[in-house]
Amino acid sequence: MSIENDLHLISDFDKNYCLQVFAPLPVAFTKGKGSYLYDTDGNKYLDMIGGIAVNSLGHANPKLVSAISKQARDLIHCSNYYYIPQRSELAYRLCRASFADKAFFCNSGAEANEAAIKIARGYFSHQDIDRYEIITAEMSFHGRTYGTMTATGQEKFSKPFAPVVPGFKYVPYNNIDAIKTAITPKTAAIMLELIQGESGVHPADVEYIKAVRNLCTEKGILLIFDEVQTGIGRTGKMFCYQNYGVTPDIMTLAKGLGGGVPIGAMLCTDEVAKGFKPGDHGSTFGGNPLACAAGIAVMEYFGEANLLDNVNLVSAVLFEKLNKLKAKYSCVTNVRGQGLLIGIEFDESIIASGLREELFRAGFLVSAIGRSVIRIAPPLIITKSQATSFVKALDSLLATRMGIKPNPIISAFKNIGRKENPAAKALSEAKPEEPKPTLPAPEEDELS
Ligand SMILES: Cc1ncc(COP(=O)(O)O)c(C=O)c1O
């Protein structure tokens, strides 16, 4: 017995048995292929958010599926008590592709950032130097663990859970003078995203990042780039820092690296690697054969499929067409980002969460940030025509919203062939408390 295709049961079980920290749309996906996801009723959605910048190769990519299937048959986990060929190879590939000399593997972006913060402090304390302060940016996002929640320059994430970790300072983004003022003799590291993804897709200025790099070099401060969201081809280069003509001392990765298989990585120079002695840091699961096999498949696919070329090609199409929407509709106030990480900002007439829901009903998945920003971060394999279909759908919705007569061809597109999903409809309406659902006892032969 499975609840897999019954949206009502799925949501009942979720509400009753899962900690309610998310606010899901009334849908459950049971299948994916390429840039599309399919729900319990077989409806098809163009995935313009790619599991929040995770499904870099799209869904059910044959190379990735075959790599992890083979690895699962051979060996999933054995622990870091031993050498792991896949871990060695992935570390080699990442170091060869970047500024880094060494890699440490973990399971998520937050863990990668924890490792970065720890090694930055360890680097100084192992030399008996009293430097521990970390400077991060306002409106940044670095994760949900205590260290990374503290590093995150948005109080709303940490306020209920105070006291936070000491030794962090926050400065306005893209403001070099603020960093200069915040630096003290105790500053160990400056940690920045090159595009602040979670707070609305805000890119750092090139001159700012260059000035931060120079300041760090001059003062002996370590520079950490959090590339959890921007790394692995997302911005049109393998790593976003390559758009800036500078290198960090430490970089963190996660999201796109495993194409959906959980993995995080902290990369650093040989010099910074002195910050961890054996036993200083570790992870039970991190660097396991399965996750690293996924990472290797993702890295290999970039070369085989000219993925960076595709990112740049589709990105140019999206920016051109979205900027045309900006010129057409006064409610579109900004289109920003890089590669396939794009934020579309609206004025007060549009509530992003409402627009997200309308796009969802039309078969397009995006994320809404705050009140006014729609973020897109589709699979890096997305085609020009798929991207164009998204812009057309957005155009049609905005035309309706702004009272402009919509193009009949485009508006006809909306909801074509989509089955009415009664469970989804019911879920969006308020429901009285119901007794907790239980699964029927399994049939005899299911027990074997
Ligand atoms: C820039 C950045 N850093 C860190 C994280 C945390 O990653 P995770 O959710 O895998 O812990 C995120 C997640 O959105 C992120 O965007």
DSSP string for 358-399: HHHHTTEE-EEETTTEEEE---TT--HHHHHHHHHHHHHHHH
Residue of 198, 199, 227, 338 to test ligand 1 pocket, by largest number of atoms within 8 Å of CB: 198
Does residue 442 have a pLDDT over 60?
no
Mean pLDDT of 162-178: 98
3-state class (DSSP) for residue 243: helix
406 secondary structure, DSSP code: P
- End-to-end C-alpha distance for the chain, whole angstroms: 13
- Which has the higher per-residue pLDDT, 395 or 441? 395
Give residue 45 CA to ligand 1 midpoint distance, Å: 24
Q: Are residues 148 and 185 in the same domain?
A: yes
Mean pLDDT of 406-411: 45
Decide: 103 and 91 in contact? Cβ < 8 Å. yes
Q: What is the per-residue pLDDT for 112?
A: 99
Q: What is the mean pLDDT of the chain?
A: 93
Atom of ligand 1 nearest to the CA of 227: 1
- Residue 438 in any domain: the answer is no
Residue with the two structure tokens 């920045």: 192
Domain count, the chain: 2
Tokens of 354: 């409402």
Residue with the two structure tokens 């812009």: 391
Task: Return d(Cα 201, Cα 336) in angstroms, integer.
Answer: 7
Decide: 290 and 308 in contact? Cβ < 8 Å. no
Give residue 53 CA to ligand 1 midpoint distance, Å: 10
Q: Are residues 126 and 31 in the same domain?
A: no
Active site residue 249: no
- Residue 437 in any domain: the answer is no
Atom of ligand 1 nearest to the CA of 196: 1
pLDDT confidence bin for 9, thresholds 50/70/90: very high
Does residue 327 have a pLDDT over 50?
yes
Among 274, 290, 179, 295, CA closest to 231: 295
Q: What is the per-residue pLDDT for 351?
A: 97
Atom of ligand 1 nearest to the CA of 145: 11
Q: Are residues 334 and 315 in the same domain?
A: yes
Q: Please tell me the residue having the least CA distance from ligand 1 atom 16.
A: 229
- Residue 394 in any domain: the answer is yes
Give residue 94 CA to ligand 1 midpoint distance, Å: 19
Structural domain that includes position 18: 11-60+306-428
- Residue 212 in any domain: the answer is yes
CB burial string 368-402: b at 16+ within 10 A, e below? bbeebbbbbbbbbbbeeebbebbbbbbbbbbbebe
Q: Are residues 109 and 246 in the same domain?
A: yes
Give residue 324 CA to ligand 1 midpoint distance, Å: 31
Active site residue 226: yes
Q: Are residues 273 and 375 in the same domain?
A: no
- Residue 228 in any domain: the answer is yes
Q: What is the per-residue pLDDT for 446?
A: 32
- Residue 446 in any domain: the answer is no
Q: What is the per-residue pLDDT for 421?
A: 63
Q: What is the per-residue pLDDT for 412?
A: 39
pLDDT digits (tens, 9 = 90+) for 250-290: 999 999 999 999 999 999 999 999 999 999 999 999 999 99
Q: Are residues 100 and 226 in the same domain?
A: yes
pLDDT confidence bin for 404, thresholds 50/70/90: confident
Amino acid identity of residue 99, one-letter, is: F
pLDDT digits (tens, 9 = 90+) for 209-245: 999 999 999 999 999 999 999 999 999 999 999 999 9
Q: Which of the residues 104, 124, 141, 390 is marked catalytic?
A: 141
**Which of 304, 330, 348 is the last residue in one of the domains?**
304
Q: Are residues 364 and 278 in the same domain?
A: no
**Which of 264, 288, 304 is the last residue in one of the domains?**
304
pLDDT digits (tens, 9 = 90+) for 141-151: 999 999 999 99
Q: Are residues 266 and 394 in the same domain?
A: no
Does residue 365 have a pLDDT over 70?
yes
Q: Are residues 345 and 362 in the same domain?
A: yes
Percent of the chain whose pLDDT exceeds 90: 88
Task: Return d(Cα 340, Cα 138) in angstroms, integer.
Answer: 24
pLDDT digits (tens, 9 = 90+) for 48-86: 999 999 999 999 999 999 999 999 999 999 999 999 999
E strand or H helix at 317, and its extent?
A: helix 307-328
Pairing relation of β-strands 195-196 and 202-203? antiparallel
Residue of 52, 152, 196, 229 to test ligand 1 pocket, by largest number of atoms within 8 Å of CB: 229
- CATH number of 342's domain: 3.90.1150.10
Q: What is the per-residue pLDDT for 385?
A: 98
Q: What is the per-residue pLDDT for 420?
A: 59
Atom of ligand 1 nearest to the CA of 111: 11
Q: Are residues 49 and 141 in the same domain?
A: no
Q: Are residues 15 and 25 in the same domain?
A: yes
- Residue 101 in any domain: the answer is yes
Q: What is the per-residue pLDDT for 116?
A: 99
Task: Return d(Cα 148, Cα 432) in angstroms, integer.
Answer: 38
Can you point out the beta strands (E) in 96-232? Answer: 102-106, 133-137, 168-171, 187-192, 195-196, 202-203, 222-226
Q: Are residues 144 and 217 in the same domain?
A: yes
Q: Give the chain's length.
A: 448
In the structure, which protein residues have their CB atom closer than 6 angstroms to any atom of ligand 1?
108-110, 113, 141-143, 193, 197-198, 226, 228-229, 254
- CATH number of 207's domain: 3.40.640.10
Q: What is the per-residue pLDDT for 429?
A: 60
Active site residue 31: no
Question: What angle, 0 to 180 degrees and rounded to 10, lies between the N-to-C axes of helices 384-401 and 352-361?
Answer: 120
- Residue 443 in any domain: the answer is no
Mean pLDDT of 351-368: 98
